Amino acid sequence: MAEAVDPIPVAVVGVGKIARDQHLPAIAGEPRMRLAAAVSRNASVDGVPNFVDLETYLAAGPKAAVALCTPPSARLEASLQAIAAGRDLLIEKPPAATLGEIETIRGAAEAAGVVLFATWHSRFAPGVAPAADWLKGRAVERVAITWKEDVRRWHPGQDWVWRPGGFGVFDPGINALSILTEILPGQMHVAAARLEVPENCAMPIGAELAMRGPENVPVSAVFDWRQEGPQTWDIEVVADGRSLKLSHGGGTLEIDGQAVDVGGKSEYPSIYRRFAELIATRQSDVDIAPLRICADAFLLGDRVPVAAFIE
């Protein structure tokens, strides 16, 4: 008989939309995890000790791994605090506001011997692994990403997405880039970018990227946060003269127009299963490739002013 293992305690930090929609249910549903505490300035979770800031929690709360569900601009300081306290750490995407920050976080985690899991939830969508398998060894000819959603629906009342370090439309766009870099590993250079920035915001509401992938494969991406009605999260690849299409953010897969059965695995439960495995094997998982593409697009991007964004 398998030996019973105590569940790993986890403290969730930043009880906002994604913590409530995904992290708390995923932890509750994963037998290898248990919620030990919540840390948030303006919100609380029933049934566990609550703390208003990380410093107080780390000093006085129950010892647990830490899941940071705060916006990326708040990631560096909190990550370094958790690592200094010797806590294994899971961070939401984007892993930090800048490449420099995530390198510092990674270095600190390595030096402290704690597990760092920089999550990319879209990589756990059920169509992504079969798509990557199908593409292995095939000659990719081109890739087109269309990622169009309604910011009011997915980020209601969130000012941080529009401020410096908030990523704007790259907050969802980086999900597409995380799938792209998983199914097409290797070189990915931004050749040109057009960033549409509302006149009252610091971050773009729309973006178009022209990239070059492995073997100079052309990769285009269109991100738009103004799409009402049906939402579009598609990646289309032509390889060996055949077509692959991931839709619904990687949730469904078609090859040559025929649906492939990819099962119904959910992203966040898979993330917590992976976190448990990483903790059990004392390994970290940090890939900065999607963040680097965003950074390059911001470096090269032609910023075009567009109409003010009114919530």
Catalytic residues: 93
Cβ nearer to ligand NAP, comparing 170 with 190:
170
CB of 245 to ligand NAP, least distance (A): 22
Cα atoms in the Cβ-side hemisphere of radius 13 Å centred on 210: 4
Full DSSP string of 103-134:
HHHHHHHHHHT--EEE--GGGGSTTHHHHHHH
At residue 136, φ and ψ (nearest 5 deg) are: -55, 125
Q: In the window 99-138, what residues touch ligand NAP (CB under 6 A)?
A: 121
Binding mask 48-87 for ligand NAP (x = CB under 6 A): ---------------------xxxxxx-------------
Q: Which is nearer to ligand NAP, 53 or 254 (CB)?
A: 53
Q: For residues 209 and 303, what is the distance between their CA atoms, to the nearest angstrom?
A: 12
Q: Is 42 in the site for ligand NAP (CB under 6 A)?
A: yes
Q: Which is nearer to ligand NAP, 166 or 198 (CB)?
A: 166
Work out which of 160, 162, 225, 233 binds ligand NAP, going by CB under 6 A: 160
**Segment interacting with ligand NAP (CB under 6 A) among 34-42, 100-108, 176-184, 195-203:** 34-42
Q: Select from 26, 30, 38, 40 the one that contacts ligand NAP (CB under 6 A).
A: 40
- Considering the complex, what minimum distance in angstroms separates the CB of residue 243 from ligand NAP? 28
DSSP, collapsed to helix, strand or coil, labels residue 44 as coil
| Residue 231 sits in the site that holds ligand NAP (CB under 6 A) | no
Q: Does 158 bind ligand NAP (CB under 6 A)?
A: yes
Distance CA 142, CA 239 (A): 7
Decide: is 248 part of the binding site for ligand NAP (CB under 6 A).
Answer: no
CA distance from start to end of the chain: 56
d(CA 8, CA 19): 18
The answer to whether residues 63 and 156 touch, using CB atoms and an 8 Å cutoff, is no
Spatial distance between the Cα atoms of 142 and 135, rounded to a whole number of angstroms: 12
Residue among 137 and 156 whose Cβ is closer to ligand NAP: 156
Smallest distance, ligand NAP to C-beta of residue 309, A? 16
Q: In a 3-state reduction of DSSP, which class is residue 124?
A: helix
Pairing label, strands 218-224, 206-212: antiparallel
- For the chain, the maximum distance between any two Cα atoms, rounded to a whole number of angstroms, is 64
In angstroms, give the least distance from the CB of 237 to ligand NAP.
24
What is the Cα–Cα distance from 11 to 138, expressed in whole angstroms? 43
Residues that bind ligand NAP (CB under 6 A): 14-19, 40-43, 69-74, 92-93, 121, 154-155, 158, 160, 171
